[in-house]
Amino acid sequence: MKGYHFGFTAILPLLLLLSGLPLEAGRAWQLNRWDQVIRMPSELEEPGENSTRWAVLVAGSYGYGNYRHQADVCHAYQILKRGGLKDENIVVFMYDDIARNELNPRPGVIINHPQGQDVYAGVPKDYTGEHVTVENFYAVLLGDKNGVKGGSGKVVDSKPNDRIFLYYSNHGGPGVLGMPTIPFLYAKDFIEVLKKKHDSAGYKEMVLYIEACESGSVFEGLMPEDINIYVTTASNAQESSWGTYCPGMNPPPPPEYITCLGDLYSVAWMEDSETHNLKRETIEQQYIEVKDRTSNHKTYNAGSHVMEYGNKSIKGETLHLYQGFDPATEKLPPNKVNLHRPMDAINQRDADLLFLWQRYKKSEDESGNKAKILREITETMQHRIHLDGSINMIGVFLFGPERGPSILSSFRKPGSAIVDDWRCLKSMVQVFETYCGSLTQYGMKHMRAFANICNNGVSESAMKQACQVVCAGHNLGRWHPSKMGYSA
């Protein structure tokens, strides 16, 4: 099976010329369907008169190059809405800069599939723009109306018998999830919020679906098994997740689109939900189906390992308890359609380059846009090279040329969090960004290096000295934290 190398041989000479770096990309496919109907006792269970389904949907990015994240969240909303969840019980976080973006070929419309219908219509605009923050996300989840700043003010005012479904789609890195505003969401803080929600008797059970690179690292070694929360993630603690339905792929988006429409794990669970009777399909069945499709048919050459954490007894329940039930699917068996087909995919961190290249190709020469976009591609690649090189040199400065690279890239034993001292991790990120510039969504992949610097007992002053030496004289320009802010 041939790998999908950014999809397009035409761009490789340009990007290699600019960076000298290979891109991470490949082909992802295939899904085996259930051959038999497995009926569980939970098929007959209903939420009950004193129980409410709640949902929190988070698109953690901004910009047309990240179209797919808001498309994922809008699509999820439509599934839940058809399933009978009320708008008053669905909280949506999205920057909302895609539907009316000047680059959108269908103004006011967002699609999540090459032949898909509009998924933007009717989506609540609870928290948009600068109000899509970690602080507001935590306040909403905790039901803290006084804690939210801006937005609709809607929160998850759930009761002890209620169930909560939380879906997140964006970029991530070891121990962190991105937001369109900064700082990042840090794993330790997030887990503490979940514990606090549990301690307040704010739900019966909760299910989390998390789409992001290294998303398993947010829960590994941290997620308790006794707070009635079940989590699946698009990837394990060490690998990227994947965008799909991108230009040049199979299947391709409509020709007027220059960006990816969805993410592999996300479209896998949503297309599965849409083609099943969710009163009959269990969470575990969906987990197995999505795991197979996201894995590139168990080859993983351009797919990822879907993981599970928390209270695994919950996965025996049927999906309708969290996602609702669409009456139109009542007569569907759990295997109405076969999604066993090729699915091209691209590493999440390369999708922005694909977008920029497509935009460059379609720009008019006389407009001057081509030169401007080419400069943006060049600057983006140069900042990536700067980040990668700076991290490597800091490792050499701190630990020596022989040990530095291996220490920064080392993995802790399975079941361990990436770092013990999360304050140290945030401090190291701030020091690095002060002298070396913003990590950006690409640089999130280096969070493990900062964690290992902490795990090896490096002081803040030693880190400061290393960053000063390595990044001295480098013009941070638009990547300066005074313009970008700090990621921690």
The answer to whether the beta carbons of residues 485 and 479 sit under 8 Å apart is: no
User: In this structure, what token pair is assigned to residue 18?
Assistant: 């600019």
Residue 461's Cβ-count burial label (10 Å; 0-12, 13-18, 19+) is exposed
**Active-site residue (options: 213, 246, 454, 467):** 213
Distance of CA 444 to the CA centre of its chain: 12
Closest CA to 15 of 413, 475, 463, 353: 353
The answer to whether the beta carbons of residues 57 and 119 sit under 8 Å apart is: no
What whole-number distance in Å separates Cα of residue 435 and Cα of residue 453? 17
* Helix/strand/coil for 16: helix
171 given a catalytic annotation: yes
**Active-site residue (options: 171, 383, 386, 446):** 171
User: In this structure, what token pair is assigned to residue 47?
Assistant: 């939420």
Q: How many CB atoms lie within 10 A of CB 326?
A: 21
What whole-number distance in Å separates Cα of residue 85 and Cα of residue 54? 7
Closest CA to 71 of 266, 293, 249, 214: 266
Cα–Cα distance list, 127 to 10, 62, 69, 157, 207 (Å): 40, 13, 15, 16, 21
Tokens 């060490």 locate to: 238
Q: 234-272: buried (b, 16+ CB within 10 Å) or exposed (e) per residue?
A: bbbbbbbbbbbbbbbbeeebeeebbbbbbbbbbbbbbbb
In one-letter notation, the amino acid at residue 107 is P
What whole-number distance in Å separates Cα of residue 306 and Cα of residue 150? 35
In one-letter notation, the amino acid at residue 89 is N
Looking only at the bridges linking them, the beta strands covering 242-244 and 53-59 are unpaired
What DSSP designation does 130 have?
G
The answer to whether the beta carbons of residues 58 and 295 sit under 8 Å apart is: no
| Rounded CA Rg of the chain | 22
436 given a catalytic annotation: no
Active-site positions? 171, 213
